[in-house]
Amino acid sequence: MTLAILPAHRHALLLLGGGGHALVVADAARLAGWMIAGYLDDRAPTSGLTHPAGRWFGVLADLERVSARLGRCTAVIPAVGDNETRLQWLTRLSAAAVVVHPSAAASESSEIGAGAYIGALASIGPRARIGRAVIVNTGAIVEHECVIEEGAHVAPGAALGGDVMVGARALIGIRASVLPGVRIGAAAIVGAGSVVTRDVPSGVCVRGVPARETQQS
């Protein structure tokens, strides 16, 4: 399925998810010029509290009904922190928005896939490729020619040297560093503050300086 990337100035934005990541995406989207239509989430909002993502339209299973009601001028973005869930919801969309915080810097030669979120003060270098439903979070650095495959998450303050490859659904923890040329396998986890000096196999969790394999908790 081909996913279109929809421009902020032509569409309102519907968020899939109402948790912490949705709050961040909604805030960045407003600053980037989106009008927020509201959100879907399986948890009903707490009575009396105004949600930053706007109106609650119902549970996630209501997506088709709500999309039809809101019409073609509403774009959708999966705004949940869990990598697997974000990708699953992306597959249900015929088109997906990209939200880029206005303080982020992305090279003109970089590519950003549908459903991705680029956070405040993040930096995307030349010829970097950011896959579908990827999160490059607050202050993260993705250097030249990096490839981040779909559904991965580069957490706040993490730094990827040039020509790093991050596999699908992998997590690079807060303030972790990955040296140039290193390959991180699919669904691997790099612990917060770690320094990765060599390739990490798929599904493996590494932590420390230098990072070494450890059991996932």
What are the backbone dihedrals phi and psi of residue 135, each rounded to the nearest 5 degrees, phi first?
-110, 120
Residues 80 and 63: beta-carbon distance below 8 Å:
no
CA-CA distance, 208 to 197, in Å (whole number)?
A: 11
Helix (H, G, I), strand (E, B) or coil at 140: coil
Which two structure tokens, joined as six digits, stand for 130? 């950011």
Which two structure tokens, joined as six digits, stand for 32? 């980037």
Q: Which residues of 181-199 are buried (b: 16+ CB within 10 A; e: fewer)?
A: ebbbbbbbbbbebbebeee
For strands 123-124 and 105-106, give the pairing.
parallel
* Closest C-alpha to 77, from 10, 130, 21, 156: 21
Catalytic residues: 144
* Closest C-alpha to 151, from 193, 90, 194: 90
Residues 86 and 151: beta-carbon distance below 8 Å:
yes
CA-CA distance, 207 to 89, in Å (whole number)?
A: 30
